[in-house]
Amino acid sequence: RVYKKRRRVSENQEIEDRLESLILRVGEKSTSSLESNLEGLASVLEADLGVFRTKILRILTDCAMKMPEKCTIYTTLVGLLNAKNFNFGGEFVDYMVKNFKDALKSCKWDQARYSLRFLADLVNCHVLSCGSLMQLFDSMLDAANEDSVPHVRRDWYVYAVLSTLPWVGRELYEKKEQELDHLMVTIEVFLNKRSKKHQPALRVWSSDTPHPQEEYLDCLWAQVRKLRQDNWAEKHIPRPYLAFDSILCEALQHSLPTIIPPPHHDSYLYPLPTVVFRMFDYTDCPAEGPLLPGSHAIERYLIEEHLKQIIDNYHLERKDCAANLLNFPYKNKIPLDYCIVEVIFGELFKLPTPKYLEVCYGSILIELCKLQPSTMPQVLAQATEILFRRIDSMAAACFDRFAWWFAYHLSNFQFRWSWEDWDSCLQRDAEHPRPKFIREVLLKCLRLSYHQRIRDMMPETYAELIPAVPEPIYKYTAEGASSLPGTAAAHELVVSIRRKCTPEEVLNVLNTLPGPGENEESNNFNPLKIDVFVQTLLNLGSKSFSHSFAAIGKFHYVFK
Which of 211, 226, 249 is the endpoint of a domain?
Answer: 249
Indicate which CATH number applies to the domain containing 163. 1.25.40.180
pLDDT band at 520; cut points 50, 70, 90: very low
Confidence of residue 556 (pLDDT cuts 50, 70, 90): confident
**Separation CA 236–CA 277 (nearest Å):** 21
In this predicted structure, what is the pLDDT of residue 28? 82
For residue 109, give its domain range: 11-249
Number of domains in the chain: 3
Please compute the mean of the pLDDT values over residues 220-226 and round it to a whole number.
Answer: 97
Structural domain contains residue 241: yes
Task: Please report whether residue 271 resides in a domain.
Answer: no
Same domain flag for 350 and 410: yes
Domain annotation covers residue 413: yes
What integer pLDDT is reported at residue 3 of this predicted model? 47
Q: Are 375 and 503 members of one domain?
A: no
Residue 519 above 80 pLDDT?
no
Domain assignment present for residue 546? The answer is: yes
**How many C-alpha atoms does 67 have within 13 Å on its Cβ side?**
17
| Mean pLDDT value across the chain | 91
Same domain assignment for residues 386 and 312:
yes
The model's pTM:
0.88
Question: Residue 390: phi, psi to the nearest 5?
Answer: -100, 10
Residues 160 and 60 in one domain: yes
Residue 254 backbone phi and psi in degrees, to 5: -105, 160
Q: Is residue 3 part of a domain?
A: no
One domain, residues 55 and 89: yes
**Given this model, what pLDDT does residue 306 score?**
95
More confident residue, 560 or 130: 130
What is the structure's pLDDT at 50? 82
Q: Is residue 282 part of a domain?
A: no
Residue type at position 168: V
- The answer to whether 262 and 105 have CB atoms below 8 angstroms apart is yes
Q: What is the pLDDT of residue 524?
A: 67
pLDDT at 6 over 60: no
3-state secondary structure of 254: strand
Is residue 205 classed as helix, strand or coil in its secondary structure?
A: strand
Greatest mean pLDDT among 61-75, 166-180, 510-524 lies in: 166-180
Q: Is residue 442 pLDDT above 70, yes or no?
A: yes
Question: What proportion of the chain, given as a percentage, has pLDDT over 90?
Answer: 66
> Has residue 470 got a pLDDT over 60?
yes
At 410-434, the pLDDT tens digits run 999 999 999 999 999 999 998 999 9
Q: H or E stretch including 524?
A: none
Both 200 and 321 in a single domain?
A: no
**Of 216, 249, 282, which residue is a domain's last?**
249
pLDDT value at 184 more than 80: yes
Whether residues 491 and 450 fall in one domain: no
> Where does residue 240 rank: exposed (0-12), middle (13-18), buried (19+ CB within 10 A)?
buried
pLDDT of 7 over the 70 cut: no
Mean per-residue pLDDT, 288-310: 94
Out of 187, 216, 249, a domain closes at 249
- The answer to whether residues 173 and 307 belong to one domain is no
User: Is residue 309's pLDDT more than 80?
Assistant: yes
State the average pLDDT over residues 383-398: 95
Q: What is the pLDDT of residues 195-210, one digit of tens each?
A: 999 999 999 999 888 8
Co-location of 205 and 324 in the same domain: no
**Would the pLDDT of 5 be above 80?**
no
Residue 261 inside a domain? The answer is no
* Beta-carbon-side half-sphere exposure of residue 357 (alpha carbons within 13 Å): 8
The one-character DSSP state at 504 is H
Same domain, 231 and 342: no
- Say whether both 492 and 461 belong to one domain: no
Is the domain of 29 the same as that of 82? yes
User: What is the tens place of the pLDDT at every residue in 116-145?
Assistant: 999 999 999 999 999 999 999 999 999 999
Task: Assess if residue 119 is contained within a domain.
Answer: yes
